[in-house]
Structures are given as C-alpha cells and as structure tokens.
Structure 1
Amino acid sequence: MAENHNNPAASSVSAETAAPPPGILVSGHFNQAYGYQTNRSRGTKDWLIMFTLSGCGYYWHQDTMRHCSSGDILVLPPGTPHNYGTPEGHVWEFVWAHFLPLPSWSEWLSPPQDKDALFLIHVESEAQRERIKGAFERMIRDSLESDFYRTRLALNAMEEILLLIGQQTNRKSVPLDPRVEQVLGFMEQHMKMRHTVEELAALVALSPSRLAHLFKQEVGESVMETLLRLRLRHSSRLLEHTTMQVGEIAEEVGFHSPFYFTKQFTAYYGKSPSHYRKTVRKAADEEEP
C-alpha cells in the first residue's frame, strides 16, 4: 500500500457515483482497467469492504493516494468519502460488499482512533487469502438470491470475513506455523476429500510424525480430530440454512456413510442431525415477528 501524493482526480472533477440503498447486503466481483473510478464525496450510509485479488487500485484519503495490491483489504465505515479507481497501466481485480453490520459484529468493526476511521489491512498468508476469497465467493453467490436461507448464508459469509480480519489485526494472538495454517486451509477448502496425515504432510514437505506433533502443538488437537470438528461444524450450518437432506449433507462435508455421520454428529452436538435441524428451525420461527 504505497503512498503517492499525486491526486488522480485533481485534473478533472469526477461525477458522484450512486450508492446502493442501505439495509441490504450487496456484493460483487470486479475486474476493472484504467479509467475506472468511483467518487462519493460524502461516503455512503452503510459499510464498504474491498479485497484486492490481483492487479492494483488506488484510494485517495486525507490528501494521500494509497495503492491497493493483492492481499490488501480496505474497509470504509459509513460517511467515509470514497475516491478510488484503477491507476494508469494497471487492471484491478477485487471483490466488494456494501453491508450494515449485525449488532454482534461491532467488536470487529471498532474504528481506529483517528476520526476518519479507515482500515487498510494486508493479508500475508496465502492460506488466509484463499479462505477470505472463498468466503467472498459464497457471499456473492448467496446474496443474489432473496430467500431467507440464502440471505442468512450470505450474512454468515460476511461474518466469517470480519472474523478473519479480526484475527488478522489482533496483535495479541500468536500466528500459527504457516505449514499448519496451510494444512488447515487445505482441509477447509477440500472438505469432501478423503484426507490422511501422510498426504497432508507431503503437502507441506513434512514427515507424518513431524506434522502430527507440530499440529497438536499449535492447534491443541490432532489433525483428524480437527478435520472431524470442521466437518461437523460445517454440517451444522448446512442443517440450519439449507434444505439439503441429511445424506446429501453427509456427502458434502466428507462423510461417505450417512450412518457414521449421524453417529458422530449426535456424539458432538447431543442431538441427531434431524433433531438438531428441527430445534434450530423452531427457535428461528419463534424469533420471527
């Protein structure tokens, strides 16, 4: 995020860019060449988040132009002036979302001490970048639908992105060993695959015994215990927010036997998948006005 003191908008006054109406989650994937520019001198009534996938973009802020490159996240609170675009000689690929935060998100969106409240974050880890990109892709896909469950899934993806940003900016947390983080990211992105410690160890150029020891030391549980937990937690979200059959969910999260999935799910949550779904749906219906 290099600084440049030449204002790209100084030579001409750009027209105000219309903003989507606040109150709904709107997201998309842009790939814009030189000439693309957005200008909102008063900002918007909602939050805006942008994650650069490749290329280069600029953002004009407090008389300084900052460049955004691959792995950079820009978060703009309501009322923050927008003036961003693609610099000459570049193409800017990024994903974005306009959103109004749920009350529980406030701790991850605490503004900086300066009054202009701007977040500029660089994500170094390739595994974290892929996870954030995957969450954006799910959010974009689900936000195109208007039914209750797809809308909730889009909000869940937005919450995941904010949690990952919060993890990234929490200076008190100790980062995982990058090899362990890569294995975690691979399991999360390929949950349907059959995984073995041997294959995962080869992925990060470690012996199986070394990966097993390092993983337990960093995460606090074994590789296979973590994989089981990831699968069960993802299956609970699918039970809550989709109409997929239990057998379909079992296959989606990597269980090749619905009976074994039901056994493991019941042991973890204290309810069978069907009972869990009924309980959650009943609670959701009671919360509806």
Structure 2
Amino acid sequence: MPRSSRNTASPDSTNPVGRMDNPVVRAPDSRARAGALSVTGPAARVVTGSLDEDAGYRTIRPRGTTDWLLLATVAGRGRIRSAGRNEVRCGSGDLIAIEPYAAQDYGTDPATGRWSLRWIHLDPRPDWLPLLDWPQLAPGVRRLRVDETVLSRLVQDVDRATSVVRSGLPQGARLAMNAVEDALLWCDTQNPNRPVLDSRLLAVLAHVGDHLDQPHTVETLARIGGVSATRLAHLARAQLGTSLMAHVERQRMDLARQLLTMTDLPVATIAARTGYPDPLYFSRRFRAAVGIPPTAYRQRSS
C-alpha cells in the first residue's frame, strides 16, 4: 500500500502505541503543523493535535482504528467519505466522530483547497460515551454542528491538551484528559440528542464563566448575547431552571469555595476575584449560600 513520503505529526501517520497500524494512504504534500502531537501517557488514551492542509491532503484507513477519531473543522472545508454514502463536506463548526474500526476516508475539499482542523484520537472512559452520542451520519460515523462559541472553546481545550503534555509536567496526562473532557462537555451543549441551550444564552454563560470578577446585570449580559434583557431572563428561567443572576451567584460561590479550599488567598482577595468588591457583603452572600462564613469554611476544609 503506498504511503506518504513524509513523516508528519498528525492523526494519520503517528502510532504511539500501535493502535493506528492500519494501511494508510496519504497525499505526499501533507503539511501538519510542527509540534501538533500530544500523547497523554503510557496508556495513550488521548492523542490531540492540529492540521492545516492544502488540496492534496487525503487519508484512507479501510479498517479504521481501534479508537475514536474526532475531526473538528476550524476553517476551510474537508470532505468525508463513508461506506455506502456519498461524500459529505465539512465547514467551520462541523465535527465528525468516527467510531472504532469504522473505515476512514477524509481529506481537504479540492474545491476549497484548504482544511484547518483540530483532531483527537480517544479511548473514552465509559462515562464519556454519552458525550459522543451525536447524530449518526452513516454507520460508524457521527456528525455534530456547533456554533462559534463552542467551536472556540473546543479549539482552546484541544490546544491546551497538546500544550500541557508537551510541557512535560508529571500531571500532563491527567490535565490533557481534563481538557478533552471539557471539549466534549461543551460539544454536548449543542447535541440535538439532548436538550440544547439557546446559542445566545450559551454565549452569555461562557462570558460569565470567564469574567466572574466583573459586575454583571441582566441588562449588560443581554448585550453580550445580542438579545433583550426580558428575553434573556426568560431563556435563563426556561433552560436553567433558575434566574440568570441566581446562576451567576452560584458560579461565583463555586469559585469562592475552590479558592478557599485550594489557596491561602485572603478572603478580601477571593471576594474581589468572585465579583464582590466589598468583602463584608461577600461574606454575607457566602454564608447565605453555604451556611457558614468563608473563614469557617476554610477551617473546616483544611
């Protein structure tokens, strides 16, 4: 079987544990980005990376691999062929999951001439399998469409998985697994097989999670979501089961508990980092939510 004349760090030509030993056909002008490979440890449960390919790129594995392969298109277009089905084009925000042992045939869409993507080879933990229950495109192939917010999160998480392993940290394998789980959880918010959050509400929740130290009101968050304050409040109540500001406070208190348990930061600093410039008011809100003051919570957790 012909093989590529170049050995590139990609999901197609790397076999860290002998799991991807099936025949592979690759176009010789593949241009995987240097350093795009990460292996999370001896078990190699996760391999992540990125590719930016031109019109000559194609990979064929008639027998597939023993693990899951996830392909997330970031820019350009790819094309996927599956048994008994015509080619399917994938644009930005299209995610493909190919199940173990399913034939793999994918590459750059010649009409576009470029395909930029993130990829994950994955032996999922049993509790992750529901997160891969995407709509079936063909036997052994699943497809999920995500919006810009979730795609951005996925890219960040995959890049983080690659980076922490490459750093050589002893905890790199577990950190990479956590990053990939985060990516799958974000994708799950868009899975039509599950209740799907409104994309405007999802953008607001993502913003809140990144800016818990900032002041928030329904009105300011409505501008983030591009929706009226009244509509946003309704969406939150309907899809979260609580008011938007109650959700914000719950997120702040979750972060406060983590900081009190895992750091020696002063309570005033934790208050500021969780969006409460007045430490006394923070202490009152913390006690109302948790049942004891912050200092007592820290002592109990130590």
Q: Same fold (TM over 0.5)?
A: yes
Give the C-alpha shift of residue 51 in structure 1.
0.9
Task: Please give the secondary structure, in 1, of the residue aligned with 2:77.
Answer: strand
Query: Which residue is 1:272 aligned to?
Result: 297
Among 73, 89, 104, the alignment partner of 1:82 is: 104
CA contact (8 A) 1:27 1:97 kept: yes
What aligned pairs does 1:36-185 form with structure 2 within 5 A after superposition? 36-62=57-83, 64-88=86-110, 89-109=112-132, 116-123=139-146, 125-171=147-193, 173=195, 175-185=196-206
Task: Please give the secondary structure, in 2, of the residue aligned with 1:168.
Answer: coil
Query: Which residue is 2:209 aligned to?
Result: 188
Give the C-alpha shift of residue 52 in structure 1.
0.8
Give the C-alpha shift of residue 163 in structure 1.
2.9
Superposition RMSD in Å: 3.8
**What does the per-residue CA deviation read over 1:118-154, in whole Å, with 9 as the maximum and x for residues that have no partner?**
112222x333333333333333333334435443232
In structure 1, list runs of 5 or more residues that go unmatched.
Answer: 1-11, 279-289
Alpha-carbon distance in 2 for matches of 1:228, 1:156: 25
Residues 236, 41 of structure 1: CA spacing in aligned structure 2 closer, same or farther, 3 A cutoff?
farther
Residues 44, 274 of structure 1: CA spacing in aligned structure 2 closer, same or farther, 3 A cutoff?
farther
Query: Which residue is 2:243 aligned to?
Result: 222
Alpha-carbon distance in 2 for matches of 1:79, 1:245: 49
Residues 100, 264 of structure 1: CA spacing in aligned structure 2 closer, same or farther, 3 A cutoff?
farther
Give the C-alpha shift of residue 95 in structure 1.
0.9
Residues 35, 272 of structure 1: CA spacing in aligned structure 2 closer, same or farther, 3 A cutoff?
farther
More helix by share: 1
Alpha-carbon distance in 1 for matches of 2:113, 2:128: 34
Alpha-carbon distance in 2 for matches of 1:249, 1:143: 30
Verify: 1:17 aligned to 2:13, yes or no.
yes
Give the C-alpha shift of residue 112 in structure 1.
7.8
Which one is further off, 219-228 or 184-193? 184-193
Give the C-alpha shift of residue 211 in structure 1.
3.3
Task: Give me the TM-score of the superposition, normalised by structure 1.
Answer: 0.70
CA contact (8 A) 1:53 1:95 kept: yes
Query: Which residue is 2:52 aligned to?
Result: 31
CA contact (8 A) 1:145 1:151 kept: no
Alpha-carbon distance in 2 for matches of 1:113, 1:70: 19
In structure 2, list runs of 5 or more residues that go unmatched.
Answer: 5-11, 20-42
Task: Please give the secondary structure, in 2, of the residue aligned with 1:272.
Answer: helix
CA contact (8 A) 1:26 1:143 kept: no
Query: Which residue is 2:30 aligned to?
Result: none
Which one is further off, 259-268 or 137-146? 259-268
Task: Give me the TM-score of the superposition, normalised by structure 2.
Answer: 0.68
CA contact (8 A) 1:26 1:97 kept: yes
Query: 1:19 is aligned with what amino acid?
Result: N
Residues 207, 176 of structure 1: CA spacing in aligned structure 2 closer, same or farther, 3 A cutoff?
same
Query: 2:222 is aligned with what amino acid?
Result: A
Task: Please give the secondary structure, in 2, of the residue aligned with 1:20.
Answer: coil
Give the C-alpha shift of residue 234 in structure 1.
5.5
